[in-house]
Amino acid sequence: MDQSMDFIFKNGLVVTSAGIEKRDIAVKGEKIIKVAADLNPEGANRIIDASGKYLLPGIIDVHCHPVYVDDEGGLSLTAAFGGVTSVIHYAYVKPGMEVMPTLRQFKENGISKSYLDFGLHLGLFDVKNQIKDLPEAFNFGATSFKVFMSYAKLKWMTDDYWMTAVMDVAAQEKGLVMIHAENGLATDYLEDKFLREGRSPIESFAAMRPSLLEAEAINRAMMISQVMGSVLYVVHNSAAECLEPISRAQENGWKVIGETCPQYLTLTEKTTLTRKAQAKIGPPLRTFEDNEALWYGLANGILDTVGSDHAPKPKKVDDNFFDAPYGSPQTETMLTVMYHHGVNGGRITLPRLVEVMSENNAKTFGWFPQKGIIAEGSDADIVLFDPTIPHVITKETQHSNVGFTNYEGMEVLGKPIMTMSRGNIVVENGSLVGKPGVGRFLPTSTSHLYD
């Protein structure tokens, strides 16, 4: 073997979707060049003892928003502390904005600021005026497009006519349509009704945005996507009721991909009652029974991916609930929370966790096997994870600029202690080692989803 290795990880437990094996990993430059037992470390610039620790493929956060208090640099930094090695940002194109200048600006910001490799989704808010530019976005390397079926009052909602139009373009270009699935007009009516009745906005928040109206929107979107021949990606499934339409689509052979987030697997409406405005997210936090149903869906292949929906917006607990924006920080806590409640909790296996947080994410957006797996020839995106470290999540342990976490005080077991992205150590033992501006823009590709 070539003696000029940059790193050798010795005696670690390498995790893939296929299982867990004791292996060494040799890294040279940006790539993994060897995965085998008992590699000779002679000539390596650094030997890293991974005994008793897991070597995970870097987590790929495919659902994050660098448009609030964490920009492309801040988001990638807080993500790296949590074991994330690649991200896909939502580039929001609000009314009056143009698609291509927005994509170019997000790309430039990421290249100059990001600690991690990144891709881009488009978030469309004015489809009527923006749809003409979507074919050019494909050539740019943005092949996934999100529309909101909710937030009519905020004028964010895309109606069925224009959602159908986006699906038509996506089918022609072999792209992916992503939906925030809630019935926006019905939920807005319920909000108005409950306010007229004087009901507590915090206590009735989940009732204003009920799970049945989330499932209804999923069902409607997947029917339209099937008619138009496009592939559908349902972001942040939050409720047990979401599983039925997605499962039915899979049984029919329809191409519907379901995502959930750690907050919908571990937090409940009780969190909303205590964290109040800081726990205002959409869809809302629901019940323990919903948590458990989503874990089942994740373990059994109904749901395919996990993303953070990191949307850090400055809020205080006692801010006016309805004036407070939707969103909270999630990316840094994602891996630890999933490991503690999922693997330690006996709800999913560690290979399945790697599959839904790394491998499937890479496969969906055309990055596999460059990313998403520990294998010879893949990017050296590696997380050294110590399953024996107990710690408590607090706002002081987090690196987002937002200054709070909805997991405040949660005791967890297991922690990432090194994050390596493309052969560069970004975070080690709680300290930032990497530099901004080293992340690369990676075009996405979704045409394989049509095979």
> What percentage of the chain reaches a pLDDT higher than 90?
98
The predicted pLDDT at position 1 comes to: 44
**Tell me, which fold does domain 58-372 have in CATH?**
TIM Barrel (3.20.20)
Mean pLDDT of 317-343: 97
Please say whether the beta carbons of 109 and 142 come within 8 A: no
The number of CA neighbours under 13 Å toward the Cβ of 94 is 3
The predicted pLDDT at position 134 comes to: 97
Please say whether the beta carbons of 342 and 412 come within 8 A: no
Q: What is the DSSP string of 244-280?
A: HHHHHHHHTT--EEEEE-HHHHH--HHHHHHHGGGG-
pLDDT band with cut points at 50, 70 and 90 for residue 5: confident
The predicted pLDDT at position 3 comes to: 53
pLDDT band with cut points at 50, 70 and 90 for residue 43: confident
Whole-number average pLDDT of the chain:
97
Which residues share a beta bridge with 60? 86
pLDDT at position 417 over 70:
yes
User: Which amino acid belongs to residue 225?
Assistant: S
> What percentage of the chain reaches a pLDDT higher than 70?
99
The predicted pLDDT at position 122 comes to: 98
Q: Model's pTM, two decimal places?
A: 0.97
The predicted pLDDT at position 226 comes to: 98
CA distance 335 to 356: 11
Instruction: Give residue-wise pLDDT tens across range 145-174.
Output: 999 999 999 999 999 999 999 999 999 999
